[in-house]
Amino acid sequence: MNDSVLLLSLASAIVIGTPILLAGLGEMMTEHSGVMNLGVEGMMLGGGVVGFWMSSQHSSVALSLAVGAGVGALFALIHAYLAVTLRVNQIVSGLALVITGTGFAGFVGSSNDSALIYARPQSFLEPVFGESMQDLPLVGPLVFGHDWVVYMSWGLVAAAAFWLFRTRAGLAVRSVGEDPASADTVGISVGLTRYVYTMIGGAGAGMGGTYLMTQIFATYQHGITAGLGWIAFALVTFAGWRPWRALVAAYVFGALRNLGFTLQILGASVPSDVLNALPFVLTIVALIIISARPAAARKYSAPSALAVPYSRETR
């Protein structure tokens, strides 16, 4: 039963959901500090292309992921400077980052002596668990068939949930996102917090982009993220700013991307445009459901100061 089309499709959903999860989790951290960064797609491409280049030069996957995360964080630093220090409109700044990151990736991708599309990563991750575990019915391919990055992403979800909602530092971050003036009065540095968490978001996007290019696609191509960054952005809202929900949502969105092709193999044809729109439709539906229930709306709503620049003089 482990080779049924449907089950393999679900396992593929976890694979394609992982970069969405990494980028979405990063963006969630950013948004909890009150900064909205629309530039996820650009940071995935910009960080990912450098991470991919690294993977073609060196056999350490961890190194490539770290380089991709670092470059993603540098892109986010631009946004942090604009959004936090200069207090520009975060939507405009984020969109500028999408364009910059995409252009950067296109430039790096074709400016090398040998175009990156003909480069290949030097090494690929193997599943962590042995064959016997992977052959278990149902849970084999779904739970035990993955590389360590997938398990690390699960660990990051748990860590983020714990950090944000169970620690004093997490409370400080959320207070910066909810009410920066109050946080400021108790001595929390609003600016520093927002810088750090914006860069964490960029690191998540860069790592997600690197994983996508080096381990899933094993190739760099222009515009390879194909909207996954936007899905990661929608994921934060769909998940109600909760890490565990993001884990589920990332795989739901991942499954939707595979669904069209699986359906074609099974003999049913749904236009791919409809399926591509579904993550966003689901996000809107989730927003409607949440807003219709006041208790849920309080619990799963955006940080109050999201995308609002903080200025001590004007509070």
Partner 1 sequence: MRRFRLGVVVLIALALVAASCGDDEAEEVAATTTAAPATTAAPTTAAPEEPLRIAFMYDGEIDDGGWNEAHENGRQYLIANMDGIETTFVENLSPGSEFQAAFEDFGSQGYDMVVCTTWCQDDVLVVAPNYPDTVYLSWGGYLTAPNVGHFDGATEDGRYLDGLVAGSQPDVDLIGYVGGFAIEEVVRGVNAFMIGARELNPDVEIQVIWVNSWYDPAAEQQAAQALVDAGADMLAAEVNAPAVASVAEASGIGYIHYGIDGSGLAPNSWLSGFTFNWGPYYLSQAQALADGTWEPALTYGGLRDGVVGMSPFGAAVTADTIALVEERRQEIVDGTFDYFAGPITDNEGNVVIAEGETIAWEERTLCCQWLIEGVIGEIPAG
Contacting residues toward partner 1, per CB under 8 A: 3, 5, 8-9, 12, 16, 78, 82, 86-89, 92-93, 96, 99-100, 103-104, 106-107, 110, 115, 117-118, 124, 216-219, 221-228, 257-258, 261-262, 264-265, 269, 271-273, 311
CB of 277 to partner 1, least distance (A): 13
Nearer to partner 1, 30 or 93 (CB): 93
CB of 302 to partner 1, least distance (A): 23
Nearer to partner 1, 115 or 138 (CB): 115
Nearer to partner 1, 276 or 301 (CB): 276
CB of 154 to partner 1, least distance (A): 22
Torsion angles phi and psi, residue 298, rounded to 5 = -70, -40
Nearer to partner 1, 175 or 215 (CB): 215
Shortest CA distance to 9 belongs to which of 276, 211, 279, 263? 263
CB of 280 to partner 1, least distance (A): 16
d(CA 77, CA 71): 10
Nearer to partner 1, 30 or 258 (CB): 258
| Three-state DSSP state, 119 | coil
Crossing angle of helices 243-266 and 148-166, in 10° steps, is 140
| Three-state DSSP state, 312 | helix
Q: Which two tokens stand for residue 184?
A: 């400021």
Q: Which two tokens stand for residue 268?
A: 């049913």
CB of 233 to partner 1, least distance (A): 16
> What distance separates the 2 farthest-apart alpha carbons in the chain?
64
Contact 64, 55 (CB under 8 A): yes
CB of 26 to partner 1, least distance (A): 20
CA 130 to chain centroid, in Å, comes to 28
Nearer to partner 1, 114 or 295 (CB): 114
Give burial (CB, 10 Å; 0-12/13-18/19+) of 262.
Answer: middle
Q: What is the DSSP string of 256-296?
A: HHHHHHHHHHHT----HHHHHHHHHHHHHHHHHHHHHSHHH
Nearer to partner 1, 172 or 190 (CB): 190
CB of 240 to partner 1, least distance (A): 26
